[in-house]
A and B are shown apart, each in its own frame.
Chain A
Amino acid sequence: MDEIIRYFFDFSRLSGYWPDILHGFLITVEMSILTVAIGIPLGLLLAVLRLYGIRPLNALIIFYIDLFRSIPQLVLIILAYFALPFSGLVLSPFTATVVALSMVLSAFAEEIFWAGITSVPKGQWEAGRSTGLGFNQTLAYVVLPQAIRLGIPPLTNRAIGISKGTTLGSVVAVPELLNVTSSIQSNVANPTALTVGAMLFLALFLPFVRFTRWLERAYGHPRH
């Protein structure tokens, strides 16, 4: 038992690697934040556009969300990095990963926002419009606040799930946390780096997971 603990927590083996680990951690944090900061607003924009009921546009939006919800994230990252250059678009590994993940998140976010918007009762629209508020005003002040509130718990879950996909960036050699720590592991033939990696992932995602729990409790039984 002692043996095992010493094996997994042998921090002496990591001297000199700490800057790399920190750098990997920061890249993971950056990619996660960018994925959420691009994916969720993009999803909201798509849901709102879909509301205008422009047929060809809606067909495109639905194609987009179905596509990005069905392709595995790993495949998308590889495509973004290795296939897009053939169409003249060369992305860095970092950018390719963020683009792929935020598109996936935007597709799921669109579905969540859309479900939220359509579950706001028709009477809310009618109340707003009957007081002279325009379509966009009713959407902005009456419908979206309710739709977003409904969407927050499932959105946070999705955002966490997809942000964890930043680890997939290692396939295109993004020096993110998992990539860094697993290569240190093979360099020094000791898994302590992975232990550190796991703890850092925990430090990054656990607060979010707790936040969702809190949200679910706060919004699970709507008080107003």
Chain B
Amino acid sequence: MTATANGTDAARDIVVIKDLRKSFGNVEVLKGIDLAVAAGEAVVIVGSSGSGKSTCLRCINRLEEPTGGRITVGGQEITGRKVDLNALRRRIGMVFQGINLYPHMTALGNVTLAMRKVAGLSKAAAEEKARHHLDLVGLAHRADAYPAQLSGGQQQRVGIARAMALEPQVMLFDEPTSALDPELVGEVLNVMMRTKQLGMTMIVVTHEMQFAREVADRVVFMDEGKVLDVGTPHEILVEPRHQRIRDFVNRTRT
């Protein structure tokens, strides 16, 4: 059977992507992606803008409809017509570049909405659990604040709590810090690091190279809709094997 690059066996793979293809109109932006992510693993995807990182991530919870290939999450096929999308998405947490908190709800309301309406928890049970998850991101004291009353970094931490509270099998992060002021990036990365320490399986698209080096188990380099290379952070970001990656790393080095 297939083995992930770091040698774990397929049975422990939470996400398996095989020959994933996606076209917008007649432009193919994903040209056959293969990737397996093991339980508890943190995979960081890097690559230049437009290389298809977001599209790849969004195919995993079918915010984009793949045009070819197969994806399984927790052993279950997610492509195909018979899939219960809502049940699937509940198992996959997503954190957005644009944060996308619900502006008309408090932090607590943001976290409890899906817990109540999708997971079917009572209001009291949802709130108790939501407070726990807000506490994990260091925001228990801001539970009653509206998004506009929170800093960007705090908003994104609520965004992480909102996804984590549903106890997903995998968390997808699409440039979670790109919209933030530089001084707010650290607090969000810290929360993500703690999420990883809790054993969460994570796929992270980011331009934060230090985070990739320190937190990633593996780094995937995407280029023009393909995976150009996969390896340890050292193999990809410190001593790249490909000229294109060397160029990319030199460009992003600050």
Contact = CB atoms under 8 A, between A and B. Distances in A.
Same complex for A and B? Answer yes
Interface stretch (A47-55, A107-115, A119-127, A176-184): A119-127
B146 interface: yes
A131 B96 contact: no
Interface stretch (A8-16, A80-88, A137-145): A137-145
A131 B149 contact: no
B86 interface: yes
A6 interface: no
Contact of B100 (A126, A132, A134): A126
Contact of B118 (A126, A132, A224): A132
Nearest to B96: A123
B98 A123 contact: yes
B163 interface: yes
A134 to B, nearest CB: 5
Interface string B151-173: 00000000100110010000000
A190 interface: no
B103 A131 contact: no
B96 A149 contact: no
B114 interface: yes
A210 interface: no
A133 B96 contact: no
Given A132-B90, A141-B113, A224-B148, A127 B102 contact: yes
A130 B89 CA distance: 6
B195 interface: no
A133 B86 contact: yes
A164 interface: no
Contacts of A124: 100, 102
B101 interface: yes
B148 A127 contact: no
Contacts of A141: 113, 117
A146 B118 contact: no
Nearest to B106: A224
B63 interface: yes
B113 A224 contact: no
A146 B89 contact: no
Contacts of B90: 131-132
Nearest to A148: B104
Interface string B83-125: 0011111101110101111111000000001100111000000
A132 B86 contact: yes
A126 B63 contact: yes
Contacts of B96: 123, 126-127, 130
24 contacts: A121-B98, A123-B96, A123-B99, A126-B63, A126-B96, A127-B100, A127-B102, A129-B85, A130-B93, A131-B114, A131-B118, A131-B162, A132-B88, A132-B114, A132-B118, A137-B118, A141-B113, A141-B117, A146-B102, A146-B104, A222-B103, A222-B148, A223-B148, A224-B104
Closest 7 CB pairs of A and B: A132-B90, A131-B114, A224-B146, A127-B100, A123-B100, A132-B118, A130-B94
